[in-house]
Structure 1
C-alpha cells in the first residue's frame, strides 16, 4: 500500500526560507550620537536562516537540533506563524499549536479557572471544546485546590503546570514544542512526555526543539540538524544527535 505521504500534502512544507534580523548596537540617544560621530555602524544584519528547505509528513515526530544561535527556535516560530520569512515560504496543514512560550496568554489578575478558558481560546479551542476538556486540564495540572485563586499568587511551578496542561489538551494536528519539557519536577516532566507520546500515537505531527538530546532521540524518529542558519543533516534522530555531539 502507498504511504500517506505519497497521496496527501505534507503537514509542514518549508521552501528556501531565509529570515533576517536587524541587530542594534546602541541602547540610548547618547550612544547613538557617539557612534554616529565615530562613524561606527548603528545596526548590522543577522541571517538567522539562510535557504532552509524540508517537508514533514503527517504523523511524523521531528526534532530541530543545533547549538545556540543555529536557527532552530526561529524556524519553529516561522512554522507557528509568529514570524514571517524574508524569502521563501512556510506552509502548514491543519490546526497548529505552539508550546513555545507557555502561559504567554495568562492574565495574573484572573483565576486559574478563568485563565484556562482565556488561554485555551487563544490557542484556538472553542468554548465547547474547552468545557469538554476542563476537568482533564485541571486534573493533569494537579493544582485542583488552587484553581479559583488568582494566578498572580501561584508559584512558578504551579503556573507552568497549569499553562502546560492547557496547551497539551488543545485539539491540534501539529504540535510545536520549544524547550518547555523542563516544566515542574521529574514526575510531572515524565507525565508531560508520556502525554506527548500519546498524542503522537494518535497521529499528531510533532516538531520539538530541546537541548535534552537523550529525550529528543527517544521522543522523535527524525532529526534535522541546524548550523549557522542552514540544515546540514536530515535523517534518523539518533544519527542527528551523534552528529551534533561530534
Structure 2
C-alpha cells in the first residue's frame, strides 16, 4: 500500500483579528509571502502545530478533538482551500471535500445548475455530469426541489446535495467534516454505505467527527488533535478510550472548580452575615 496523503511538520497560523492590532495591507502581506509574517506572537493564533501523519490508499482515517482543536483547518489544508504556514502536505489524486455547509454552491441558482458548476469545479466534464445527473439527484432524494434555488434549501438539503455531488464525481480522496451530522438519520446511513463502497473500490477517506462510536466502527486509524497539536495517533479503540478519559478528567476538574467557587461564594455570604450581626450587636451595646 502507498500513502496518498503525506503530512510532515504541518503548522498553521492565523492572524488574531482583535481591536488595537496593526492591520497590514494585502500588498505588504503578498510581498512578505505570508499573511502572518512579521506578526508578534500575541497577534496570531496557532491553529495547527507540528502535525505529521500518512494516510494509505483505501484507508478510512478519522480525526477527533474538541471544538477549536484544528480539525476543520486540517481538512481545509488537505483540500487545498487553505495554505499551511509551515510543513509539507502532499495529496495524490482527485479530491472531493464536504467541509462546510453550502460551500461551493451559489445560493441564487437552482440545485440543477449547482450540480453542473460544482461537478466542473471537482474536475468532471459536462458530458460526464450529464451521464451521472440522474444518479446524483436520485441519491440526494431532493426530487422536484432540484429545480429550486438552493437559498431555499434547509441545512439537511444542502448536505444531501453536497454529498451526492461529491461521491458521484469519482474522487480518489474524500474529505468529510462534521456536516453529515446535519442530515437525517436515514440519509446519514445511506452516506455511510456509499463511503464503505467507495473504500472497497480503493478510495481514501478522511473523516472528522465528534462521534467516537462512528470513528471506532468506521475508521482504521484515528488522529486526536488537542489545541492544534497532535495528542495521539493510533487504533480507533486506543485513541477513543484515551480521549474519553481525558474528557472525563476535564469534566471532573470543571465540576471541582465550580464546587469550590460555590463554597467560596457561600462562605463569603456567611462571613458577611456574621460581620453584619456583629456590627448590629455592637450598635445595640453602644446604645
Matched position secondary structure for 2:180: coil
Query: What pairs up with 1:217-232 in 2 under 5 angstroms?
Result: 217-232=216-231
**CA–CA separation in structure 1 for the residues paired with 2:94 and 2:53:** 19
Aligned pair 1:88/2:87, yes or no? yes
**CA–CA separation in structure 1 for the residues paired with 2:199 and 2:91:** 17
Normalized per residue, the structure richer in helix is 2
Unpaired runs of 5+ residues, structure 1, are 34-40
Q: Which residue of structure 2 aligns with residue 98 of structure 1?
A: 97
RMSD of aligned Cα (Å): 2.0
CA-CA distance at 1:44 after TM superposition: 2.1
CA-CA distance at 1:115 after TM superposition: 1.3
CA-CA distance at 1:175 after TM superposition: 0.6
Query: What pairs up with 1:52-91 in 2 under 5 angstroms?
Result: 52-91=51-90
Contact 1:22–1:43, Cα closer than 8 Å, also in 2: no
Q: Which residue of structure 2 aligns with residue 36 of structure 1?
A: none
CA gap 1:53/1:99 in 2 versus in 1, 3 angstroms = same
**CA–CA separation in structure 1 for the residues paired with 2:203 and 2:44:** 37
Unpaired runs of 5+ residues, structure 2, are 23-39, 246-287
Matched position secondary structure for 2:84: coil
Q: Which residue of structure 2 aligns with residue 113 of structure 1?
A: 112
Compare CA radii of gyration and give the structure with the larger one. Answer: 2
**CA–CA separation in structure 1 for the residues paired with 2:21 and 2:199:** 50
Q: Which residue of structure 1 aligns with residue 124 of structure 2?
A: 125
Aligned pair 1:16/2:16, yes or no? no
TM-score using structure 1 length: 0.86
Q: Which residue of structure 1 aligns with residue 194 of structure 2?
A: 195
**CA–CA separation in structure 1 for the residues paired with 2:158 and 2:56:** 34
CA-CA distance at 1:32 after TM superposition: 6.8
Aligned pair 1:179/2:175, yes or no? no
CA-CA distance at 1:199 after TM superposition: 0.8
Normalized per residue, the structure richer in strand is 1
Q: Which residue of structure 2 aligns with residue 238 of structure 1?
A: 237
TM-score using structure 2 length: 0.74
Instruction: Answer 1 or 2: higher relative contact order, Cα 8 Å, separation at least 6.
Output: 1
**CA–CA separation in structure 2 for the residues paired with 1:138 and 1:121:** 16
Aligned pair 1:207/2:200, yes or no? no
Contact 2:10–2:89, Cα closer than 8 Å, also in 1: yes
Contact 2:98–2:175, Cα closer than 8 Å, also in 1: yes
